[in-house]
Structure 1
């Protein structure tokens, strides 16, 4: 009997062990079933070490255009979402690794059936809550932006899809310098040209940043993201890299956080191939996606991509400008702003002239002077033709001032010549006190001299602003190069022609001497006899 009971216990233990072996333990690699997600709904759940992935089922018809958004709700996990077809093929994916908070994509579903949305953690040993939102294109709320648009000059009519028209924003800084509010014409549906496979990310853009990229093959699309706040005004530019010419025809599409394409641009102006979205007011807060490509799908080449919150797109540092001598540079890309620095003392009178070197071009230059404390002075066309000119700005503080040079409306590029001068105000006479019988000291001014090499275009003139105080003596000599016959004129601060000289004796080189009657900014103007062009050297002394 005792042996019987021992045998019975052994048989029972063997059966129990066998039953235990047949039940597998769950592993961390298993995918949990999240349930069903309907178009037009949002679902949330938590992923952790024990449950690293979820599969959600999305039932849809062929041709449904859906916008899928994946968001971090809380926790330290970053998530990835894969869209898997009914046949098991991974169609596309998105993640929150790049933006830390949310990402979204539009997608045209190729067949009818049950799709899977697989959500997983990007990094092990993290946990957190995520949210998935799925919307049909017909359910997307399109913001209505109000405002009176400028007259659009850009007409863009591809065969498919329907184009979004981007108006030209006129920049008129004289008077009120606030940015106008453009009207943005939104498409009535998501463009059918959106890729059925999401392009690889190009990275996250920061305001004030310029990225360099390259389209290396036909049909290639680059994707960038940035975070924007509702009502924030931004500008975007895609310019062919001037240092590496190619066949690229830039094209930009801007997608809002809800998947709507809210702005696009091909040619900024009819004659300008660069793509620029200028002074655009964001409709909502969230992560925006920027699609970068060639308009015809065949062009290739390097590009510059810029994001800014102002009228200009990118700053190019030019260093310190030399006083009383020409500083020549060139705006190479549309939307570029050159930045120069000048050092002055409080009370100095600053004059700045910016001349267009190619007088036959359509280059329209602007200049802005900014003090160390942020106070600014602006000019567009106060000089000859489209030249810019700031006259006798009194420096409020000592320090380094910034000179900005850009093109009006970002609509031209070209070479320019920057002149600047800083002069002391007339010294205050010293009045003797009753305790002193000494005569007042008479300040002796240090002579100001300059030698400038310049050119004059055909039927054109070149001007130089010079600050002269009442009682100062001025001597001017203009020497023509290679026989250039020049004409000299001096114009006083109120616009009267004070001196006009052509030849002196047998010499074709004009010269003049005079004593200034009033203080102010005088203009030295040099032109060619009978409209001739040529090169000259200007010499003047003020004492």
Structure 2
């Protein structure tokens, strides 16, 4: 009995010796230090380590300001973000400051807002291998310029300012058009409200690589910010920015509207209500007095079609443009030369080619790259569509999009092929819309055949 007690005592003694050693194990989980205060105008040096792979800064005294934040490091690929007091990310950036550095430009800080700046590596942000090293974080007040209605200003993007902000005051219901053009870079426009929220942005609606926002109706009275920049966010060069308040005329299908071009009126704007599947033709007849061009934009300010000399003489004509949205569409008529005179604009809705009447020819050209067609569908019916080149020529960019009630039900494309065949089942009774696109900008024909196979 004494021997058993002795062995039990020895065992308890060993456990008492071993257990404290196990309790001394420490965690190596990375910790985030408490936020350090930073104010506008500060530039601070810091370092990310394995123990602290990110750093937080509490932004002070920036309420009501537009600010720029820059994070630069030669040691790691930086990632910069800003969150509000609810923890919501309000701005972020990876590589907009050259190389692998980060920059947030023109951040609007509301009065009373509590913002926290987070500096970290991109690896830490995506949850992979966190990088370490030294960095420089700076906060500065953004350069803000003013622009007024009817003004055109010139500016320059530099490596120190990849975008420029222009403030204007507008009234609720004002219809504005904003243009940014550059010979040096692909421009990009943003329109922000007084809180810094983005209302609209645009890349190429101004023609070529230029940007245009509008016609856009201002939702409230107050200050707005136009941010002029580039599509890449890193381009430099000169640009021209214009802001105009315009009056648009309502036009409906079947209407003809007469406008006058004078020294002070070089653009005219028209709006109409369109529906998905509508096909429209728009003509401008100047009787050879004024050289103009036409642009059709959808409700989201994206360009649907553009033409300069597709009509009679040097008059433009937008021929059989397909609408793929419901809402308000905008027609822009611009003078290309300096001549004055009268132009008559006509808007018509035209019926699409119908495959119910047999095979149809889709004829493309440099000015006609999209051709709509339709047929009457029966729910559950299986059909076959075939597109064939009668001449045997091949297309490098032929696309077929089939929709019913706005929903895509079949799609096909061909590269260097002379035919497309697609079979599908019609989901519902009613019209089935086809949009055939060919972007070689050459004269090209396809025969379109419908077979009802079951």
Q: Structure 2-normalised TM-score?
A: 0.36
Choose 1 or 2 for highest CA Rg: 1
Q: Which has the higher strand share?
A: 2
